[in-house]
Amino acid sequence: MRRVVRVVVGFALALLAVGGFLWFVGPASVLRELSRADPVVLGSGFLAVVGAFYCWSEALRRLLASVGQDVRGPRYRAAFMSGEFLKQVIPMGHSGGPVFVSYAVSRETDAPYEEALAAATVVEFVNIGSSVALAVVGLCVLLATGTATDGPVFVALVVGLVIAVGFLLSTALLVHYRRALVERFVLRLAAAGRATVGRASARARTGLAGDRIEATFETYYAAFDRALGDRGEVWRAAAVSLAGWALFLVPMYTSFLAIGEPVPYALVILVIPVLSLVNVVPLPGGLGGFEVALAGVVVALVGVDLPAATAGVFLYRLSNYWFVVLLGGLASLAMSVRLAEPPSPLGPTEGGLTEPK
């Protein structure tokens, strides 16, 4: 129930932020721009989003298959989208994305929770790496063509990209080569949780027990190593993930094209990954802050006026966020996955999510 309340409050604050931005720009001028949208061009972006999530679910399916967990079919795809729904609607949900996806997949298939979590973690790193790779390609194209490369906003994007690359590499090295350090850090977090939340919740106290955390780490890293063991499959998953990101960025291009204000695709593949990685707004999907930042970048780098930039961003978010929430919500209803159920990243919930179905 507490998680549901947080989601409701988060959405209320996010919608207030979006409404405030729309009021600042001018609703009439934005609606005028929206009325010019070509529905066929706009619709192609929605199809691209469906293709993107199919690719990302396929990347996870391949890694699970490499560790002996054969998951496939509509039920698996729906379970994957259920996890994405949780990731999109819970404030700061992207930080726990692998937990939500692996929970939903393990609940609806025969894949054990720890193995699903390990594979989902690898896919998360692969997805971030793919987005950063595309951003680097976009940066190189922009520099080679001299397009939209002037001013402090472009410099800030480049700095953000450098920070993202450094964070990705350092995190990957830490998780893979400094496991004892990671485990000590998590154990300290668990101890703090027992001393605070654990005082009021016997379930939290049990779930954050030191021996349980250690056992979870042992099982998790064993599955993590198996998921990384087939390097060929990891590279194939990376290729599928890269295709997913290329498709996921299409709606940004088609949304602006639909209102007659085309944005260079090279700029799209630079801007979206960087803003997604550095977005720290603690609201569902980064609502409010992401729209303002993206509209500002488009105005500064492309020269589109603010009402047109706002209209394009709203159309983009309709396909890349609200459409995803709709698909994931329908999948969650069909799969009986609920907001209040997913476990802490520190370990599975009581009841044994690792039990086969």
Residue 211, token pair as written in the block: 């021996």
Q: Residue 17: what pLDDT?
A: 65
- Per-residue pLDDT at 35 exceeds 80: yes
d(Cα 210, Cα 208) in Å, to the nearest integer? Answer: 6
DSSP string over 224-236: HHHHHH-HHHHHH
Of residues 357 and 331, the one with the higher pLDDT is: 331
Burial of 350 (0-12, 13-18, 19+ CB in 10 A): exposed
- Output the CA–CA distances (angstroms, integers) from residue 147 to 1, 62, 75, 141, 316, in the order listed: 49, 38, 45, 8, 22
Residue 294: what pLDDT? 86
The string of pLDDT tens digits covering residues 86-106 is: 888 776 656 667 788 888 888
pLDDT at position 201 = 62
Q: How confident is the model at residue 256 (pLDDT cuts 50, 70, 90)?
A: very high
Model confidence at 348, in pLDDT bands (50, 70, 90)?
very low
Residue type, 134: L
Determine the Cα angle at 76 with ends 70 and 80, to 5°. 120
Instruction: Tell me the C-alpha distance between 263 and 93, whole Å.
Output: 29
Mapping DSSP to helix (H, G, I), strand (E, B) and coil, where does residue 157 land? Answer: helix
Q: Torsion-angle region of residue 350: left (phi > 0), alpha (psi -120 to 50) or beta? A: beta
